[in-house]
Amino acid sequence: MEIDRPTDLATALEALRQAPDATLLAGGTDLMVEINFGHRRPEHVIALRRVNELQEVDGTIGAGVTWARLEEGPHRALAQAARTVGSPQIRAAGTIGGNLGTASPAGDGLPFLVALDAEIELRSAAGSRRLRWDEFLTGPKLTALQPGELIHSVVLPEEIPARQEFGKVGVRNAMVISAVMACVVRYEDGRTRVAVGSAGPTTLRMGRAEEMISAEADPSAAALSEFQRLVSEEVRPITDHRSTESYRRHAAGVIARRLLERCLR
Amino acid sequence: MDIRFRLNGEDRAVDAGASQSLLSLLRDGLGLPGSKNACEQGECGSCTVVMDGRAVCSCLVLAADTDGADITTVEGLGDEDTLHAVQAALVDGGGVQCGFCTPGFVVAAAHLFESNPTPSTDEIREALSGNICRCTGYGGILRSLEGLAGR
Ligand SMILES: Cc1cc2nc3c(=O)[nH]c(=O)nc-3n(C[C@H](O)[C@H](O)[C@H](O)COP(=O)(O)OP(=O)(O)OC[C@H]3O[C@@H](n4cnc5c(N)ncnc54)[C@H](O)[C@@H]3O)c2cc1C
Ligand code: FES
Ligand code: FES
């Protein structure tokens, strides 16, 4: 096994140019599990945790930013999501870039990015490109990342509503992968965006529920119930070892409604 | 693969294997079996070490990526003659049964007390939420550490 441990972005990109198929390593909290269980034996690793340019948190969020740092802000719902990831040990090492790289439908960092229509900035020695989240996340554990590229950062829109909430349903508080989770954001003019995870092949947006509730300036109890019903209808969950299709469908509606109610307070 | 790091206050030059975790390097390569191996997937915390000021699961750290790091394992915190305050508290408070999980709890708790000498019960619970114990039911561990925090 070869390893590069670049300390700046240019060196990292040059290493990646020379070894486009090298395995990128950030906090290791996903990758090392695969290595320990013999599912992966990388021949060449490029370790990114020393690269300063990936550590930004203002404006764009660098791929190398850990959950422990995101817990501190500046984005309320992302901090709420960060707070639910694994355990203190996992949050001290795991990064948002690694969450995107793994692209699990259960990635807790993703609903916030999806609700805000964030873009993912990719870099290679040849240049950079930005993909909207739905161009980047192409399927369960699948992304549009090409050999020779790395995830540089998450680019958020200029307008970010103050009303934003994340919530997660799982079997216990600490150290639990979501059975289902959601992020709801509401702009001052009523526009509402809802992203749900662990309820489809990738994180999903609830287009019909959004459209319906965005038109309600001061949603009535009946409107909230309709919102909940639409979310439960729109998700596309499966049954697996963590939960069932019907429980996820139900819980997605409940959690989305609860988050919306918090946004409306 | 040659790497250099600081381990329990000593500069070391060691050979890290391909795909080897820091946990395996510590236990199998360097004769430091204090960090325990129970899951190798970040779930149990028995392998917790402090690396560059953060408590992490050593099973999830690629040994080859520790070049330049400053690492403290349970062996660096105390020994039989001079127990770390957390170790003494756990012994006195009945926070240890089989002891397998103990090194991980000791490292995680010592890390907490270093930055916060008087943590609240919630802060203690939170700091230990990545460590699993199959014996004590956590009550003894929690009470021992509350005592140390002066609660
Ligand atoms: C015990 C445990 C509990 C967990 N709990 C949760 C949880 O509650 N919620 C959750 O969402 N996740 C959870 N995870 C999964 C994991 O911690 C997260 O997905 C984390 O964000 C991964 O980040 P990392 O830096 O550790 O990634 P790594 O393991 O270093 O990398 C993950 C993948 O992303 C790629 N990658 C990393 N950085 C880049 C980059 N800059 N550019 C391109 N590709 C890159 C890697 O090649 C690899 O394929 C848990 C994991 C463990 C072990
Ligand atoms: S052995 Fe590392 S967390 Fe269990
Ligand atoms: S004392 Fe036995 S596992 Fe904790």
Band of pLDDT at residue B151, cut at 50, 70 and 90 = confident
Residues B64 and B120 in one domain: no
- Within a domain: A259: yes
**Among the three residues B32, B50, B76, which one is the final residue of a domain in this structure?**
B76
Residue labelled with tokens 């206050």: B9
| Contact present, A167 and A194 (Cβ < 8 Å) | no
Residues B101 and B43 in one domain: no
- Residue A146 is classified by DSSP as P
Q: Does A24 touch chain B (CB under 8 A)?
A: no
Residues B64 and B104 in one domain: no
- Within a domain: A243: yes
| Contact present, A83 and A76 (Cβ < 8 Å) | no
Residue A57 pLDDT: 86
Q: Which atom of ligand 3 is nearest to the CA of B96?
A: 1
Residue type, A218: D
Residues B14 and B64 in one domain: yes
pLDDT tens for B62-96 read: 999 999 999 999 999 998 899 999 999 999 999 99
Q: Which atom of ligand 2 is nearest to the CA of B132?
A: 4
Residues B31 and B96 in one domain: no
Does residue B33 have a cis peptide bond before it, meaning omega lies within 30 degrees of 0?
no
- Within a domain: A141: no
Residues B52 and B103 in one domain: no
CATH number for position A208: 3.30.390.50
Q: Alpha helices, DSSP H only, in chain B?
A: 22-24, 85-93, 102-115, 121-127, 139-148
Q: Which residues of A touch B18 (CB under 8 A)?
A: 1, 41
End-to-end Cα spacing for chain A: 54
Residue B62 pLDDT: 98
Q: Which residues of A touch B55 (CB under 8 A)?
A: 88-89, 92
Residues B56 and B100 in one domain: no
Nearest CB to B129 within list A37, A49, A88: A88
Total of domains in chain B: 2
- B20 min Cα distance to partner chain A (Å): 8
**Among the three residues B35, B59, B76, which one is the final residue of a domain in this structure?**
B76
Structural domain including A206 reads 163-264
Residues B54 and B116 in one domain: no
CATH number for position B137: 1.10.150.120
Total of domains in chain A: 1
Strands A127-132 and A119-124, by their bridges, are antiparallel
pLDDT tens for A209-262 read: 999 999 999 999 999 999 999 999 999 999 998 899 999 999 999 999 999 999
What are the angstrom distances between the C-alpha of B21 and each of A45, A215, B40, B92?
A: 13, 53, 9, 34
Q: Which residues of A touch B54 (CB under 8 A)?
A: 68, 92-93
Question: What is the model's pTM?
Answer: 0.97
Instruction: Tell me the mean pLDDT in the region A59-63.
Output: 94
Best mutation site among A32, A48, A95 for testing chain B: the one with the most B CBs within 10 Å?
A32
Residues B94 and B65 in one domain: no
Q: Does A28 touch chain B (CB under 8 A)?
A: yes
* Predicted interface score ipTM higher than 0.90: yes
pLDDT above 70 as % of chain B: 100
- Residue B17 is classified by DSSP as P
Chain-centre distance for alpha carbon A184: 14
Residues B54 and B92 in one domain: no
Residues B54 and B110 in one domain: no
pLDDT tens for A105-154 read: 999 999 999 999 999 999 999 999 999 999 999 999 999 999 999 999 99
CATH number for position B14: 3.10.20.30
Verify whether ligand 2 is closer than 6 Å to residue B141 (CB atom): no
**Among the three residues B22, B52, B76, which one is the final residue of a domain in this structure?**
B76
Structural domain including B11 reads 2-76
Residue A247 makes CB contacts below 8 A (sequence gap 6+) with A179
Verify whether ligand 2 is closer than 6 Å to residue B39 (CB atom): yes
Nearest ligand, measured from the Cα of B24: 2
Count of other CB atoms within 10 angstroms of residue A105: 23
CB contact under 8 A, B126 and A45: no
Ligand 1 mean position to A217 CA, how many Å? Answer: 39
Residue A177 pLDDT: 87
